Structure 1
Amino acid sequence: MTPTNKTTPGANDSLKDKAQSAASSAAEEAKVRARDAANTVATEASNYADQAKGAAADEVKGVASALRTAADEMRRGSPQERTFSQIADGLADASDAMRDKDLGEMVGAVTDFAKRNPMVFLGSAALIGFAATRFAKASNHSADAQNAYGAQGSQMDRPQTDDRPRSGSVNVASPAINPSYKGGTV
């Protein structure tokens, strides 16, 4: 006799159900893990955005303070004083609003502010651009100075390119410097 490989219909259904159940639970677990990972990333991104928002609000408040100081030093009632004061007030309000709103609300608020006060917005944007440029240049010069400090060939040790004597004192009566010198005291 030949052996027959018979399986009962109930056993096939049982294996099929077990495989479907295992696949379903694995898919559900993958969904839960993906959702948890997405929530973690969203929380981290939100925390980073809040920190950046706080730093930006501090910078804007600093610019507003500097503008207010500049306005105080100008002649009372002059157009420059009024403009600086208006820009400073607008920036101070924007700084406070930054701290209280989320990113979507902030974009809407900036858009509304720009529509209501286009000149103040453009002036503020220009001043912030100038301030950022100055800050970047100052930071760059500071970094260059720190890197060059104590290094050979720093700017303090520039080579002399003329034929003057290399001693610490300069002889003004020298023929190399003063060709009309004929001797004597100058």
Structure 2
Amino acid sequence: MSNPPPSQLNEPRTATQTARPSAETAEEAREAACEVRAELKQQACEARDRTLERGRQFAEERKGIAAEELGSFGSALRSAAESLESDGEEAVAGYANMCAAQLESTSHYLRERRLGDLYHDANRFARKHPEIFLGGMFLVGIAAARFLKASEPEPETNYSDALPRDMNPDRS
């Protein structure tokens, strides 16, 4: 390989000499960017799929727990209805039996249906009866707020610190 004469080392390159390497470099950079983009897209899709699957599993577990709880509550209500009936309270026992039957039916419905079916049924009901659906969601919100408020620990207060000095027996 021969070295160029010193006079050519300081001469600027022509457009054809510089265009080829930078065009090849730009093309390589584009290809590398496409490969990275495709790999990131694949990783994002896999992460999304894993997250969705975990969410489905969690929802299925909670659906099963809710169905069991409703079934247990329905059975307890049915037992209470039988007790009321034996005590001569047939009218109240009748209402309790109706509620127990509805709870047991709802429990069975939750056990047998898939999550997608439950979603579509709720969507269909909300479209047919928006006032009932919104009212029910309002009541669920109130119940959830009361539950959260009731489960919140009360702050510890020292009442002797709140009293004025002359009324506080601890301070002299």
**Fold shared by both chains (TM-score > 0.5):** yes
Match of 2:11 among 3, 22, 26: 3
Amino acid at match of 1:46: R
1:82 and 2:94 matched: yes
Note the 1:1-186 alignment, pairs <5 A.
1=7, 2-6=10-14, 7-75=17-85, 78-103=90-115, 105-106=117-118, 108=121, 112=125
Q: Is the alpha carbon distance of 1:27 and 1:110 closer, same or farther for their aligned partners in structure 2, counting shifts above 3 Å?
A: closer
Tell me, in whole angstroms, the C-alpha distance in 1 between the residues paired with 2:118 and 2:44: 30
Asked if 2 retains the 8 angstrom alpha-carbon contact of 1:97 and 1:106, the reply is no
Deviations 1:123-155, CA, capped at 9 Å, x for gaps: xx9xxx7xxx7xxx9xx8xxxxxxxxxxxxxxx
More helix by share: 2
The TM-score, its normalising length taken from structure 2, stands at 0.59
Q: Is the alpha carbon distance of 1:8 and 1:110 closer, same or farther for their aligned partners in structure 2, counting shifts above 3 Å?
A: closer
**Aligned with 2:12: secondary structure?**
coil
How far does residue 4 in structure 1 lie from its aligned partner after superposition?
2.4
**Aligned with 1:3: secondary structure?**
coil
Amino acid at match of 1:53: K
Higher-RCO chain (CA-CA 8 Å, sequence separation at least 6): 2
Amino acid at match of 2:105: D
Q: Is the alpha carbon distance of 1:39 and 1:20 closer, same or farther for their aligned partners in structure 2, counting shifts above 3 Å?
A: same
Tell me, in whole angstroms, the C-alpha distance in 2 between the residues paired with 1:80 and 1:98: 27
How far does residue 8 in structure 1 lie from its aligned partner after superposition?
4.4
Q: Is the alpha carbon distance of 1:110 and 1:16 closer, same or farther for their aligned partners in structure 2, counting shifts above 3 Å?
A: closer
Q: Is the alpha carbon distance of 1:63 and 1:23 closer, same or farther for their aligned partners in structure 2, counting shifts above 3 Å?
A: same
Asked if 2 retains the 8 angstrom alpha-carbon contact of 1:53 and 1:98, the reply is yes
Gaps of 5+ in 1: 141-186
Tell me, in whole angstroms, the C-alpha distance in 2 between the residues paired with 1:101 and 1:33: 32
Tell me, in whole angstroms, the C-alpha distance in 2 between the residues paired with 1:111 and 1:66: 31
Q: How many residues align?
A: 125
How far does residue 56 in structure 1 lie from its aligned partner after superposition?
0.9
Tell me, in whole angstroms, the C-alpha distance in 2 between the residues paired with 1:11 and 1:110: 60
How far does residue 98 in structure 1 lie from its aligned partner after superposition?
1.0
For the aligned residue pairs, the C-alpha RMSD in angstroms reads 3.4
The TM-score, its normalising length taken from structure 1, stands at 0.55
How far does residue 85 in structure 1 lie from its aligned partner after superposition?
1.0
